[in-house]
Chains A and B, each alone.
Chain A
Amino acid sequence: MDGIIGDYREPTDAGPRVSLVFYPGAFPVKWNQCSATADFFAEYFAGVGDADLGEEAARRDFVGSVGYVLNELIENAVKFSAGGTVEIDAGVEDGEFVVVVSNQIASSSVDALRAKFDELVHNDPQELLMQRVEENAANPELSTSGLGFLTMLSDYRAKLGWRFDAAPGNPDNTLLKTTARLQVNPHA
């Protein structure tokens, strides 16, 4: 069951780094808390590190891009969490923002997710996005848009990777780690 799909890389201590752990067993994580958390990381990393974000436009782009990608990752982690913690570990190094978001999922969902991630890494995200939106329009009862990873890939040029491991202490669950990397200043 273990394995890696896509371009997987975790942050190291080479640059500024912050980790945050939610223990949602004790409280429900709400959508606007995902948003606030994403914005915290975006604002924090815009103010530290070696990236030249002196220009207002570059800073705005960084905060908007990191905020968007991280909000999507945290929403996913909370939405599909099957118990345990939700962890966010992020840093800026070598001109890139790097984040890994970890959560436990039901092991029964691993095969379907694996197929979905394989499809994402082996096809043109623009094409997939077009198809998916037309499908969503034709099936208004669908409860998820499926556009999170597709917009990250096609509109933000994010590099994405996933890793499956056994969940500590729960044989029915799998630990899913999702990584995303963004260029800090893509217009420089």
Chain B
Amino acid sequence: MLDTEIKGPGYRIWCDASSRTVHFEGVLRLGTSEFKPIEELLDRVLADSPPALHLRMTELQFLNSSGINMLYKFAISVRKKSGTDLHVHASASIPWQGKSLPNLKKFLPTITLTLD
């Protein structure tokens, strides 16, 4: 897994290869097509078939419905591929996370979701 970074106005997504963690930071309210590079980054990370993969959301203040769609679809990709345990680290004090992230379990029942 390569170290990679995607940056835009008010947001940053980056991979830490050693801990197999993708970090999401800032405000992500983009159009569906603008989420493509982030989607491709996630797909590349999954293509390496790591035994475990972490998404850290605790610094992501806002995500719009196009971004939620991207996350849910990624959960489905992990389910279909099998062999990778997905861990999502979230914050209970960021409202959208407590409301929308629990749905991830419906798309990927084996997911570990931590809402601190």
Contact = CB atoms under 8 A, between A and B. Distances in A.
Interface in B21-43: 27, 29-34
Given A133-B76, A136-B73, A151 B100 contact: yes
Given A31-B29, A133-B76, A72 B62 contact: no
Interface string B45-57: 0000000000000
Interface SS majority for chain B:
helix
Contacts of A4: none
Interface residues of A, number: 32
B109 interface: no
A118 interface: no
Interface residues of B, number: 28
A71 B29 CA distance: 9
A155 B99 contact: yes
A133 B96 CA distance: 18
A58 to B, nearest CB: 11
Nearest to A133: B72
Contacts of B64: 68, 71-72, 75, 148
24 contacts: A31-B30, A34-B29, A35-B29, A60-B95, A63-B95, A64-B62, A64-B96, A68-B95, A71-B29, A71-B62, A71-B64, A72-B64, A72-B65, A75-B64, A130-B106, A133-B69, A137-B73, A137-B76, A143-B33, A145-B65, A147-B66, A147-B68, A148-B65, A150-B65
Interface of A: 31-32, 34-35, 57, 60-61, 63-65, 67-68, 71-72, 75, 129-130, 133-134, 136-137, 142-145, 147-148, 150-151, 154-156
Interface of B: 9-10, 27, 29-34, 62, 64-66, 68-69, 72-73, 76-77, 93-96, 99-100, 103, 106-107
